Amino acid sequence: MDCQNILKSLEASHFKKIIHTGNWLEIQTVIYAKQIKDTIFLLFAILDEKDEAADIRALIAQFNSFESIGQQKPEQIMFYLSIKEKHDFHYFKNYIKICD
């Protein structure tokens, strides 16, 4: 799975890059977030952006504010998917289409 293509796609889809400074994810994790409702966010947490086999996690989670995403644990996680292979990402894209 080409992590660089995924990152370009997220940036083109207006996801905001957030540097993780809290303790709910690994230290080197970079978060791409997009607000989908008042306090509900779609997140992609990427452990190593430069690695082609990066550990990518997709979440739909509730946070108090956009600013708290990189600092605090989510209030609630409504969806979680660990993306390790191409077919995992395919399932997630289909899920998002259903939720639209």
What is the reported pLDDT for 36?
A: 92
What is the reported pLDDT for 49?
A: 60
Residue boundaries of the structural domains of the chain: 3-84
DSSP 37: S
pTM of the model: 0.80
What is the reported pLDDT for 3?
A: 67
What is the reported pLDDT for 33?
A: 94
- Chunked into runs of 10 residues, the chain (100 residues) has average pLDDT values of 72 87 86 94 82 76 93 93 76 62
What is the reported pLDDT for 100?
A: 53
Taking the CA of residue 2 as centre, how many other CA atoms within 13 Å lie in the half-sphere pointing to its CB? 4
